[in-house]
Amino acid sequence: MRAQYLDRMDIERERGITIKSQAVRMPWTKDGQPHILNMIDTPGHVDFTYEVSRSLAACEGAVLLVDAAQGIEAQTLANLYLALENDLTIIPVLNKIDLPAAQPDTYAEELAHLIGCEPSDCLRVSGKTGAGVEELLDEIVRQIPPPTGQAEAPARAMIFDSVYDTYRGVVTYIRVIDGQLTGREKILMMSTGATHELLELGVISPEPVPAKALGVGEVGYLITGVKDVRQSKVGDTVTNQARPASKALAGYADAKPMVFSGLYPLDGSDYPELREALDKLLLNDAALVYEPESSAALGFGFRVGFLGLLHLEIIRERLEREFGLDLIATAPNVVYRVVMEDGTEHTVTNPSEFPTGKISEVHEPIVRATILTPTDFTGAIMDLCQTRRGTLLGMDYLSEDRVELRYTLPLAEIIFDFFDQLKSRTKGYASLDYETTGEQVSDLVKVDILLQGETVDAFSAITHKDKAYSYGTSMAEKLRKLIPRQQFEVPIQAAIGSRIIARENIRAIRKDVLAKCYGGDISRKRKLLEKQKEGKKRMKMVGRVEVPQEAFIAALSTGDESPGKK
Amino acid sequence: MSPALPSRDPAPPDGALSQLALASLTQRDFGVYLHVPFCAARCGYCDFNTYTPSELGGLDIDSYLKSMVREIACASRVLAGQAPAVRTVFVGGGTPTMLGSDQLAQLVAAVEKEFGFADDVEITTEANPESVDETSLRQLRAAGFNRISLGMQSARASVLAMLERKHRPGRALAAVAEARNAGFEHINLDLIYGAAAETEDDWLASLDAVTGAGVDHVSAYALIVEDGTALARKVARGQVAAPDDDVLADRYLLAEDKLTGAGMQWYEVSNWAMSDAARCRHNELYWRGQNWWGFGPGAHSHVGGVRWWNVKHPRRYSALLADGSSPAAGRETLSEIDQRLEEIMLGMRMRQGLPLSRVGSAAPQLMADGLLDPTAFAEGRAALTLRGRLLADSVIRDLS
């Protein structure tokens, strides 16, 4: 069996992370009694919390895996709390005990302290060597209650995932709660009322294996020939058309995009390909939203909403890798709610759409962040959170040398380089998790960047008033270095409304002439001129200023001057 | 000659030209360029098609001369007696004066024999100051040369050393005096500015030297770091600073100031002359899209919208001619659009510029920006201002 068996995507395997939940069924015999275990491997990262919560809602118990070399991470807490909210039986497990750096005793204490059990209750396993795995499976059988659904009731199955497969169409992952689904019968999607022929029903063991029927508690898949995942909506209830259930199961809240970024093809003619690629990714990723937008600076593209930065990074990487696209992404931003003095409201997902006129209040999303760190770095983290407008909610010692810090932070402050900063200030030891907890009114302004008096939409940013100046000056300086000198002087300004807060000048070019052009030079120089004229055509015009696309990319690509940085 | 030859159509082995191209012969001036691809040593900044003795692989000057005469005969066949009398001859290199005066005389005589010279023919040779003396200059003058272009480059030893030029600073001015004594009507001094070691004071000294020398023509070139040269490698390695555009602009303005002050007038962005008669008519022929035949390894020619270029290495050049073939390596036939582009690219660099009807619609904006001269504009011409000269390439891009 190959390593990282259930992480099927290249990106998952390379990064050693799980993005998509995977279901798997395995038979296990304890004390001569055969059992069937249905398990779901879930992601851990905060961006994919919604995947975790969906999966947990389909389960009776959870195995809480903690890396025995790293101990509890912030996401461990987050996922533990999710499991507790779902009243699940939790089995604490320390994994990777084969690693030389593993400290199972230390972390067993922490874990026990956290969930209120004895350190000896924490199982110790190694996925790599197989040590302790049998004991774990026995423990699952012993502790996790069997499913409680009614076998005779009309069928109700929860859709917890649906993915698009090029060859088979949409594959819908379900967990049967009540009754039974059998092959060759029509099913009904309870939210849409759509009926489908069941083409295939099966379990994953660990590859898809067709099955005649799925009964109470069983996890499996079904295929109906539908081509659009949106017709197999995650959270929907599947029932039998001939004998439908009267009441659907409680579904899931839709995942809400928290972070937006403009994605533009480097080559404008790739726009249709980008649209197609996004449409295809959407088939597998209900959390992705996008709509076309155009930028004077970058041309035609899409404003894309993501669950978080990792989600953004992964989508972007998949677009580039799987679809061969070269993309420019604008600096990510959160969603703002702007209330005007006349009471009207605007939802702003793109800084260039920030309303002008008399603004009464700007609301920004906030998160409750949990940071776990060795105590040595407490001061460094407090400094960081302070500069990011954080409010300390509390701190708890997990053990003598590890502490949990809880902060309220604006999401906007986290989505830039917060995580990198956190890692670099704590030598990589701190971990972060957060959940959105609402919004707050903040003193936020839009900073525009103007070239020769013209606003460059791609560089507009919404920042806290105290950080507007540093964003403006650093962006202006960066552009001065990136934009080639023109025939005339080009002022670069940063402005809040009509108030200029920073200014740089690109000095006019003084010499642009070949010294020599004699008989033998003419053909070569003409070709050079043709090439330059081609290059000129590819320049983006901001008013009369010619800006090479590379300058836009360079200005957007490095996160250094993002509004979040002090 | 350019280092990398353009590549387009193969040239026919006999060098034949279309009737259309030949028909232009009677419509346009006809000039001759003779390339002498030899130098005693290669200067660090130079990317011309030239060879030191060790690079020639045993080719001797006699066989080069023989091949040149063969190409002259080949040209005569191709042009089939339709070429008008030659109005300009320019011998360039390399270092033409690596040939003896008698050998240069031989080449000029061969051209005259095939094509005949117009009454007012201009015959120029380039020369390195250290490779001529009063005797050789008298011989050249006697052979019909009436214009000489001396590669002075700088009046300062430190700058010459940086450029890897072998002559002493005073030598160029002495050669000017010798040329004048020998009876040359037109004398040019070439200067190069912007070398890393050059100070503004050095440049002023060079300008003072040329204005005091009594020549009627000065070419002043910004140092170009050409790909593939020793200079380019030094710049890439960070051993030598690349010329700074703002410094080059300042140097250019100083040149304009000093040369104009000495009674000269610019007639092309890098060329100044005491009078219309002192202009280099051969170069003007290039810039006005006239016909010329360039003889010698790597030389370029143009006849009626067909440009071609010879193989670069002298041995290959000689071998082709010995076989009775054309030495051309490739050619291109210019489209209407190409010709129009060239007209703007070359014409706008000259003082008189071009009629507004020949340039694009950006002219009014360029005038408003101070790059085109309002007086000329009022007279229906697009002509560069002083600032426009320094930005000629961007003006050309906007107008073409």
- Three-class SS of A29-61: EECCEEEEEEEEECCCCHHHHHHHHHHHHCCCE
Chain A CB within 8 Å of residue B337 CB: no
For residue A534, list chain B residues with Cβ-Cβ distance below 8 A. none
Residue with tokens 């940086």: B162
For residue B6, list chain A residues with Cβ-Cβ distance below 8 A. 523-524, 527
Answer yes or no: do B294 and A523 touch at CB < 8 A: no
Given pLDDT bands bounded at 50, 70 and 90, which one contains residue A1? low
CA angle B376, B254, B46 (to 5 degrees): 100
Measure the CA–CA gap between B95 and B114, rounded to whole angstroms.
25
Whether the pLDDT of residue A564 is over 80: the answer is no
Q: Residues A274-320: pLDDT tens digits?
A: 999 998 888 767 778 999 999 877 889 999 999 888 888 889 988 99
Which residue in A552, A550, A548 sits closest to A539, CA to CA? A548
Pairing of strands A219-223, A169-178: antiparallel
Closest chain B C-alpha to A527 CA, distance in angstroms: 9
User: Predicted ipTM?
Assistant: 0.93
CA angle A195, A200, A206 (to 5 degrees): 130
For residue A387, give both structure tokens. 């500069």
Residue B326 burial (CB count, 10 A) = 23
Measure the CA–CA gap between B71 and B84, rounded to whole angstroms.
18
Residue A421 in 3-state DSSP?
Answer: helix
Average pLDDT of the segment spanning A462-490: 93
Residue B227 in 3-state DSSP?
Answer: coil
Whether the pLDDT of residue A32 is over 70: the answer is yes
CA dihedral of residues A429, A435, A439, A441 (deg, nearest 10): -10
For residue B225, list chain A residues with Cβ-Cβ distance below 8 A. none
Average pLDDT of the segment spanning B164-193: 94
Nearest residue on chain A to B345, alpha-carbon basis: A526
Q: Residues A248-268: pLDDT tens digits?
A: 888 776 777 889 999 999 888
Least confident of A118-122, A367-371, A496-500, A534-538: A534-538
For residue B248, list chain A residues with Cβ-Cβ distance below 8 A. 511
Phi/psi for A412 (5° steps) reads -55, -30
Nearest to A511 among B249, B349, B396 (CB): B249
Whether the pLDDT of residue A537 is over 90: the answer is no
> What is the predicted pLDDT for the residue at A423?
86
Closest chain B C-alpha to A519 CA, distance in angstroms: 6
Closest chain A C-alpha to B83 CA, distance in angstroms: 19
Given pLDDT bands bounded at 50, 70 and 90, which one contains residue A558? low
For residue B33, list chain A residues with Cβ-Cβ distance below 8 A. 519
Closest chain A C-alpha to B135 CA, distance in angstroms: 30
- Start-to-end Cα distance in chain A: 49
Whether the pLDDT of residue A2 is over 80: the answer is no
For residue B226, give both structure tokens. 């050409």
Which residue in B230, B221, B72 sits closest to B162, CA to CA? B230
Q: Residues A76-134: pLDDT tens digits?
A: 888 888 888 888 999 999 999 999 999 999 999 989 988 889 999 999 999 889 999 99
CA dihedral of residues B318, B319, B321, B324 (deg, nearest 10): 160
